[in-house]
């Protein structure tokens, strides 16, 4: 994690360590829910279907500059962003993301519709500018499993946002009826644990392709155009499936589901990177009770 006592920029072996974390232990695809009040509102940050510009990048040239800053400065910025500090003098250069579409959708549900919530997806390797992304436990706090921090403006073919209203109109409530349940957390932590403590949800045998659920998932995911595949994957994994168990029938069910989306458009540089290996991306922590079985699945 970052050290508050280091007043010099991160260099050498330590920089290589942080680069390895972001390149090999962060999902290629991440989700974010934003609204008209995100980042303090449009006067402080931009959140739109075209781009996301954090407060700290609103009035200066593009370019990361992450490793040009003193490590102590980075530590303070991460800490204040994570704690949602609204001090008038604070200007964050990060936007917040999650590996869990389950979390993003439940958070969108918690936002008043007058603020026009949107659910976005990014392919971290297909953005117009280099954006550096870390999991919060890499930088600051081991219990921050729910959040990834992206440093830099988000724009380009690797970004797509769709309004929550459009998702609901396309049948989201049919795919995720649990959105109607109340949870003490706006991120749906209790709901997720409850859902994944139950038995796996199989698709109808020999009728998966024509099942109503798959049809609805396709319809919703298609709203994300060329980024439909990660969204479809997230929608399928909103609840436990047979392949979450390491059994032959579970593997067969996974292969069957994968074939349904075999024709979906893949990003040009898609690869089965280190982040797809079991256990590489953190999904649970001894620090608290938060867990992300949907991401693990």
- Record the pTM: 0.93
What average pLDDT does the segment 268-283 reach?
82
* Alpha helices in 208-263, H assignment, sequence order: 212-221, 228-236, 248-260
Domains of the chain in start order, with CATH, are: 12-165 (3.90.210), 173-296 (no CATH)
Per-residue model confidence (pLDDT) at position 182? 86
DSSP 138-169: HHT-TT-TT-EEEES-EESTTEEEEEHHHHHH
β-partners of residue 94 are: 151
For 13-64, what is each residue's pLDDT tens digit?
Answer: 999 999 999 999 999 999 999 999 998 888 888 999 999 999 999 876 544 5
What would the pLDDT profile of 136-147 be if each residue is shown by its tens digit? 999 999 889 999
Q: What's the average model confidence in pLDDT over 188-213?
A: 85
């Amino acid at each position: 994690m970052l050290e508050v006592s280091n007043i010099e920029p991160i260099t050498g072996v330590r920089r290589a360590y942080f680069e390895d974390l972001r390149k090999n232990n962060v999902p290629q695809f991440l989700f974010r829910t934003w609204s008209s009040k995100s980042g303090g509102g449009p006067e402080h940050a931009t959140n739109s279907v075209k781009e996301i510009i954090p407060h700290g990048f609103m009035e200066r040239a593009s370019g990361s500059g992450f490793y040009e800053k003193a490590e102590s400065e980075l530590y303070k910025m991460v800490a204040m962003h994570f704690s949602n500090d609204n001090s008038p003098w604070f200007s964050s250069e990060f936007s917040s993301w999650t590996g869990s579409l389950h979390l993003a959708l439940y958070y969108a549900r918690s936002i008043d519709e007058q603020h026009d919530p949107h659910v976005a997806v990014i392919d971290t390797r297909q953005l117009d500018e280099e954006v550096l992304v870390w999991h919060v436990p890499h930088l600051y706090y081991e219990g921050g499993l729910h959040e990834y921090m992206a440093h830099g403006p988000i724009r380009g073919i690797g970004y797509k946002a769709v309004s929550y209203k459009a998702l609901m109109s396309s049948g989201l409530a049919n795919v995720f009826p649990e959105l109607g349940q109340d949870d003490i957390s706006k991120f749906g932590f209790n709901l997720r644990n409850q859902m994944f403590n139950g038995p796996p949800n199989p698709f109808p045998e020999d009728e998966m392709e024509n099942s109503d659920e798959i049809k609805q998932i396709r319809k919703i995911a298609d709203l994300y155009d060329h980024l439909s595949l990660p969204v479809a994957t997230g929608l399928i994994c909103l609840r436990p499936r047979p392949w979450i168990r390491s059994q032959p029938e579970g593997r067969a069910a996974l292969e069957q589901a994968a074939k349904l989306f075999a024709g979906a458009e893949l990003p040009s540089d898609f690869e089965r990177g280190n982040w797809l290996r079991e256990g590489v991306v953190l999904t649970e922590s001894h620090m608290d009770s938060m867990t992300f079985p949907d991401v693990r699945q």
